[in-house]
Structure 1
């Protein structure tokens, strides 16, 4: 293991800050919603080529990958390059794709979530090559992954199964607001369908209104999310998983990750006309899963709701599948289930980032003045609230993950999205130091993993 000059690493990273800023602003200028990332892929590929990556390629799904070094083993740095849309344009104070910058901030759709992470990762790989800091026997892989906003982790299912690439560990550059993140809740997308019978709206008693049935079910879903867990509660709320009584094996991990949640995110119906009773209704449920919850338990909780039981065979509860074509036209069908995962703080890949942070910046979160009020007092090593590609990388395949990325979760999917210039260079410096502090002799997946969600029986290749 080479002796690192941390001051030099920080200086070189800071010297590249203007280049990273220009690169990020260029990426922001290309609208890149899921399945439409082609232009930003070309932008990233060109930047990697300009910076002297040893190999740059775009795979069959459309992920862009750059490699530095020639070792047999891989350490990967991942960032998704698709964004959500802009929503109501009137909510933006500036053009979301032209963006803006001042002395501290860069604004634009994707600045925090999460093209800023790609800017830091690409320049970190260049720094490693130029400073002769690619660890012996390794190559550094920087991935600009696609379709994460649509189906988190599906891009890495493709990389693992189709490209046959299996890194030793992966750094996620999703925004962490100055922290090092070692896990997050899983999630799944549930659909509930209700059947009814149509009739003329002038005599609704002749029919069976599917929307009325669904209204009862929706109230029960809300209770499942909001209610407590006392014995007298008819629908025991999801908060119960924080209690050792209901989650004896994993309640401590659940308290770290936070409780599971559920919410109705979409509603659909069919009816012969506006003057008829609706003959079907369906909803989508966004279910966030904490430690100890499984995809079976989440489906069963919906099936066991009083209103669902009341309407019996007229109700169907299922899990969504995802099969939307990528920007290259490729389809990788997978289930809309994204397993929970946590690493131990002592895991070697987590420890590498923590040790690098302490050597470079100390043991407190760092940030520019406009962000410090939200970073102070929070633990350095923590977890995400939302979900990332790590649901596949570690949740499905057991490849250890850890997160450190520029920007803040609170900026994700929000109007007037910004990231912090200082974060770009801080993250680049940390990636360089961390891969050189990683001790592969202590790498053991069983020792690294604190909790991983169960998989389904689907053999998705």
Structure 2
């Protein structure tokens, strides 16, 4: 006999909680929470999880908040990073980035789409599960994770390695416009350095200008960017020179060092090793005897914990016929009586650790749109917050039912 999934009741409750979800999201937006400064928003999320009835809520040593529902054997996680980027040029905003704006359809403010909206929907999905007694043989862990904007996936490296939590799959609630996303390109942060010899600028022939050595490297990198790997689903690898630094005794001297940063996006089949070798083999790099390396990240979280990692974030993808993808498609059809769109992210997510490093299936479904991320007047859509809350409430039961049927 098929279980009762209560789709109509789930949809009705999600709609009924629209104002509660919206208020909670606006409360989060009002708390500045750039990477490394998430303490207050984490405490606010913990407060809301307790209020709606999560079975257990804890904050780990890195500062991630983890809310638990159920005590079954199947461990399912849903994740939202709750740090944001800065506000940029305030003159580009029509509204205060933290006070925000709200009408019947949208909520505006930093973090609305990227990605505190997903957090708000997850918490109220937990309340729907509680209200409708949608329990089964699962433990749902709802995570509000830190430092993603600075170092995507670092929080999940910690959760898996140190908290010793390894879910059977993870739903990322990064913005997908309520489409189902099953992969993304990876990325890495590369540093190239040339060395020279400084001298007085009035006689530059006495020195060796490190900036001049870098110029042909930049030109070669532009050419290399046209000849990178390609995957039919994830698309083409890419690179761009994102920063340039130099050292010199003064403005009246020849530069003795020059360094550039490269934002390298990796498609399937590309690795950090292959990406470094491609640059090392450029004639201009060899001629300049430049050093090519990967950046590392070792900034403390708001708790003071330092969890160093290299700045390599692998590409990942699950097949369209993967069980987890099928489950989300089935949930979508049952709730909304329509076919979902299946696609991929352009930007990077915590999936680089979850699936990219640890091969834990990761699937995306979230409120908000990618193009809103990091933009002035960032907004999300109330209808999508409601839709996602309903999906998140149904997914755990549907997953357990699928597994039990599969096992016979």
TM-score by length of 1: 0.86
CA contact (8 A) 2:52 2:126 kept: no
CA distance in 2, matches of 1:195, 1:90: 40
CA distances 1:197-233 after superposition (whole Å, capped 9, x unpaired): 10100111111111111121111112222x3xxxxxx
Q: 1:358 matched to which residue of 2?
A: 333
- 1:340-419 to 2 correspondence within 5 Å? 340-364=315-339, 380-419=341-380
Q: Which runs of 5+ in 1 are unaligned?
A: 228-236, 243-253, 366-379, 445-461
CA deviation after TM superposition for structure 1 residue 440, in Å: 2.6
Residues 191, 317 of structure 1: 8 Å contact kept: yes
Higher alpha-carbon deviation: 303-312 or 327-336? 303-312
Alignment of 1:53-202 (within 5 A): 53-136=54-137, 138-202=138-202
Aligned to 1:437: 398
Decide whether the 8 Å contact of 2:53 with 2:130 is kept in 1: no
Q: Residues 347 and 443 of structure 1 are in contact (CA less than 8 Å); yes or no, is this contact kept in structure 2?
A: no
DSSP-derived class of the 2:236 partner: coil
Tell me the SS of whatever aligns to 1:256: coil
Picking from 269, 273, 287, the partner of 1:292 is 269
Question: CA offset at residue 19 of structure 1?
Answer: 0.2
Distance 2:206 2:333 in 1: 71
Matched, 1:333 2:294: no
What's the CA shift for 1:443?
8.5
2:232 alignment partner, SS class: helix
1:265 corresponds in structure 2 to 242
Residue 302 of structure 1 pairs with residue 279 of structure 2 = yes
Conserved? CA contact 1:75–1:168, under 8 Å: yes
The alpha-carbon deviation at position 362 of structure 1 amounts to: 3.3
User: Aligned partners of 1:350 and 1:25: how far apart in 2?
Assistant: 31
Are 1:93 and 1:416, in contact at CA under 8 Å, matched by a contact in 2? Answer: yes
Contact preservation (8 Å) 1:352, 1:435: no
| SS of match in other structure, 1:22 | helix
Contact 1:38 1:327 survives alignment (8 Å): yes
Give the equivalent residue in structure 2 for 1:207: 207
> 1:180 offset after TM fit, Å?
0.2
What displacement does 1:364 show? 4.5
Q: How many residues align?
A: 404
CA distance in 2 between counterparts of 1:221 and 1:2 reads: 57
